[in-house]
Amino acid sequence: MNDSAVLSVPHESAGGALSSARFLEAYRTMVLVRALDERCLALQRQGRIGFYAPHSGQEATLVGSALALEPDDWVFPAYRELAVALVRGVPLGAIVDQLYGNARDLARGRQMPNHFAFRDQHFVSASSPIGTQITQAVGAAMAAQRRKAPIVAITYFGDGATSSNDFHAGLNFAGVFNAPVLFLCQNNQWAISLPRSRQTRSATLAEKADAYGFPGVVVDGNDLRAVYGAVRSARERAVSGLGPTLIEAQVYRFGPHSTSDDPHRYRPDAEVDAAKGHDPLHLAKQVLLGDGRLDEATDAKIWEEARAAIAAAVTSAEAVPPPDPSSLFEDVFAVVPPGLEAERQTLLGAPPPREPSR
Amino acid sequence: MTELTLVQAVNRGLAEAMRADPDVLVLGEDVGLNGGVFRATEGLYKEFGGERVIDTPLSETGIVGTAIGMALYGLKPVAEIQFLDFIYPAYDQIVSELAKMRYRSGGQFPCHVVIRTPYGGGIKGGLYHSQSSEAYFCHTPGLKVIVPSTPADAKGLLLTAIHDEDPVLFLEPKRIYRSVTGDVPDGDHRVPFGVARTVREGTDVSMFAYGAMIPPVVEAAEALARDGVSAEVIDLRSLVPLDEAAVVRSVEKTGRAVIVHEAPRFCGFGAELAALLAERALYSLKAPIARVTGYDTPFPYSLEQVYLPNTEKILAAARATVAA
């Protein structure tokens, strides 16, 4: 391993520090999404939503990285990044509507929970195949480069995705074209049941960047300020024309991969307990308590407000009906073609339309 | 009008689209300085530079994945896959991402990428430079699949593809890249999708084909005419969207159908045409539908002329159908 290519970034890095006011806001968002995890796991168990992929343990990385971005930047997420969408201004209600796939869901109930798409926030539609968003982010960055727009594309993926075709292709293209793209690997140590050591023999994931000719950075993903600093620095590098950066945020996935697996089958409880000793939420709270910007009473109030907001969003989402069956046939193409229109009419019980004439 | 070969017409279409719109760009392997292995992008690098005629690293998933990102951002990428046989590393990007992006985002993220690729056999290309795997893509909702067979259509359909709002897989019949020449309209010539071309009108039997199968089908139709059999030849040219009305109408007139493609028979595009006719034109049929296709084997090297449909095979099938 080439140590020179793998930098460990201290939390007060060249990218600048997170202001006090933003730190407290960041903490509020971290609490909100932790509380959302708790609520959504329960909603799934009760059969009220179909699926959920929790992010507990990754909040500092999600919120810290999102705060380091600018509104015109583009985000190519995987499926554990709803906190990034929230930081970028997506309302909680829009996120909960997607989890329910109701008629108000901006993606029209087309995808499983956690596969978000929010055009206004440049939060690109997520898919389930692993790593496919990586090359797409590089393409968007190349397009921004061509338009001379001072922005970056950032893509989020996990440790498992570093084994994918698109990880290699994406990082390779990014290096060759010096694209303004940030690769944010949330190394949460587990790809469903497989530990990080079974994805690669490399000592770190960040050092893979060395082979592609740009810097790789390891950052403590539990440390909000460290993540913010690393992403901010990488962003400045990219918009200055210095090219991409791979950031490996080392975190730990406290919960299951999703509501469809039981982590007790593949990892010891002691490992989870040890990781929870570095809970990013706890670490952020300690910083705020130490600085006198937070006290226990205020903290309790933050939690209370978060749970109330979630309860309101859930109540609201559950009152909205599912999408109209007629919508099934829309957005396959820009215009519904005659064949699909005929299928729609059949579904709706109408007599099939007359032969399309020209 | 200018007389061009099919590959020259593709080149002309690309150049004119790039001149008209600075957002149109080309990317792929060897498309720049080399002008493409079949010369489809000849001269573009010189005219538009390396920022718009992008030689990429050797990765199909990289080509299509980055093209998707470019399109989402607002550019109009035309990606070249050097041979259809090499598209499979990008299959995930095409079927999981490109074809579904608009749908899965509820219309928030339309994704208009054109993928051009030479397909088909007859050039002694063996297993990996000959395949005709259009059916894989026609089966994917959200993709348009286009196959020109004339220079005029190559330019006109390509310009329609570049100006369309949906992802388009544009399959170029490499076997007739240079063997077919024809008059091509100058300027912004566009041929609409979903409209079949009647190559030759007839009353006794309908022959459906596309791409490089059109010349042998026309030859067969001429031979039938000498026998007093009037064959109608329909060039589908747009597989998705399919001109279903043209297919049904033709068989309502002739009562007989011969379907020709070089892809394997099983689950090939011809199966969809046969099903369409069974559903919508059964009572017009005077004879069983015939399919003349590649065999259900991998594409062979030494025996490619044995494998491929040719005039004789098409003629035999048509005569049997007419005699039935």
Could you read off the pLDDT of A56-71 as tens digits, one per residue?
A: 999 999 999 999 999 9
B residues 257..296 contacting A (CB < 8 A): none
**What fold is seen in the domain A3-323?**
Rossmann fold (3.40.50)
Residue B190 included in any domain: no
Q: B184, B213, B229 — which closes off a domain?
A: B184
Amino acid at A99: L
Mean pLDDT of B5-9: 98
A residues 61..80 contacting B (CB < 8 A): 74, 76
Q: Which residues contact A224 (CB under 8 A, 6 or more apart)?
A: A18, A23, A26, A27, A30, A60, A63, A64, A280, A283, A284, A287
B26 and B159, same domain (yes or no): yes
Could you read off the pLDDT of B192-234 as tens digits, one per residue?
A: 999 999 999 999 999 999 999 999 999 999 999 999 999 999 9
Considering only CB atoms, which chain A residues are within 8 Å of B168?
none
- Is residue B150 pLDDT above 60, yes or no? yes
Q: Do A117 and A39 contact (CB within 8 A), yes or no?
A: no
Residue A10: predicted pLDDT: 43
Residue B144 included in any domain: yes
Test mutation, B24, B26, B73, chain A, max A CBs within 10 A: B73
Considering only CB atoms, which chain A residues are within 8 Å of B164?
334
B134 and B38, same domain (yes or no): yes
**What residues of B are annotated to the active site?**
129
Mean pLDDT of B244-256: 98
Q: How far is CA B266 from CA B135, B272, B315, in A?
A: 10, 11, 21
CATH (domain of B61): 3.40.50.970
The total number of residues shown for chain A amounts to 358
Longest CA–CA separation in chain B, Å: 59
Phi-psi region of B135 (alpha: psi -120 to 50; beta: other; left: phi over 0): alpha
Residue A353: predicted pLDDT: 55
| Confidence class for position B119, pLDDT limits 50, 70, 90 | very high
Considering only CB atoms, which chain B residues are within 8 Å of A136?
65-66, 68-69, 72, 97
Q: What average pLDDT is seen over chain A?
A: 94
Could you read off the pLDDT of A238-292 as tens digits, one per residue?
A: 999 999 999 999 999 999 999 999 999 999 999 999 999 999 999 999 999 999 9
Mean pLDDT of B256-282: 98
Could you read off the pLDDT of A113-140 as tens digits, one per residue?
A: 999 999 999 999 999 999 999 999 999 9
Could you read off the pLDDT of B24-49 as tens digits, one per residue?
A: 999 999 999 999 999 999 999 999 99
- Is residue B264 pLDDT above 70, yes or no? yes
Residue A21: predicted pLDDT: 86
Backbone Cα Rg of chain B = 19
- Is residue A6 pLDDT above 60, yes or no? no
Residue A16: predicted pLDDT: 67
Residue A356, token pair as written in the block: 């399309």
Residue B189 included in any domain: no
Q: B184, B207, B241 — which closes off a domain?
A: B184
Residue A2: predicted pLDDT: 40
Residue A11: predicted pLDDT: 42
Q: Do A169 and B96 touch (CB under 8 A)?
A: no
Residue B276 included in any domain: yes
- Is residue B71 pLDDT above 50, yes or no? yes
Q: Do B66 and A117 touch (CB under 8 A)?
A: no
What is the C-alpha separation between A170 and A177, in angstroms, rounded? 11
Considering only CB atoms, which chain B residues are within 8 Å of A137?
69
A residues 109..168 contacting B (CB < 8 A): 110-111, 115, 117-119, 124-125, 127, 129, 132, 134-144, 146-147, 153, 165-166, 168
What is the C-alpha separation between B271 and B301, in angstroms, rounded? 26
B141 CB within 8 Å of a chain A CB = yes
Q: Search chain B and give the residue with CA nearest A110.
A: B104
Q: Where are the domains of chain A?
A: 3-323, 324-358
Q: B130, B157, B184 — which closes off a domain?
A: B184
A354 CB within 8 Å of a chain B CB = no
B163 and B43, same domain (yes or no): yes
B62 CB within 8 Å of a chain A CB = yes
Residue B203 belongs to what domain range? 197-323
pTM value? 0.96
B141 and B256, same domain (yes or no): no
Residue B210 included in any domain: yes
What is the C-alpha separation between A318 and A96, in angstroms, rounded? 9
Q: Do A166 and A134 contact (CB within 8 A), yes or no?
A: yes
Residue B45 included in any domain: yes
Could you read off the pLDDT of A140-196 as tens digits, one per residue?
A: 999 999 999 999 999 999 999 999 999 999 999 999 999 999 999 999 999 999 999
| Confidence class for position A351, pLDDT limits 50, 70, 90 | low
Residue A17: predicted pLDDT: 83
Residue A36, token pair as written in the block: 């959302």
CB-CB: which of B73, B103, B242 is closest to A143? B73
- Is residue A7 pLDDT above 60, yes or no? no
A186 CB within 8 Å of a chain B CB = no
| Confidence class for position B270, pLDDT limits 50, 70, 90 | very high
Residue A5: predicted pLDDT: 43
Give me the percent of chain A exceeding a pLDDT of 90: 91
B222 and B313, same domain (yes or no): yes
Q: Which residues contact A302 (CB under 8 A, 6 or more apart)?
A: A27, A28, A31
CATH (domain of B271): 3.40.50.920
Q: Do A132 and B57 touch (CB under 8 A)?
A: no
**What residues of A are annotated to the active site?**
253, 257, 266
B168 and B264, same domain (yes or no): no
| Confidence class for position A350, pLDDT limits 50, 70, 90 | confident
Helices (H), A9-91: 20-45, 59-67, 82-87
What is the C-alpha separation between A330 and B54, in angstroms, rounded? 34
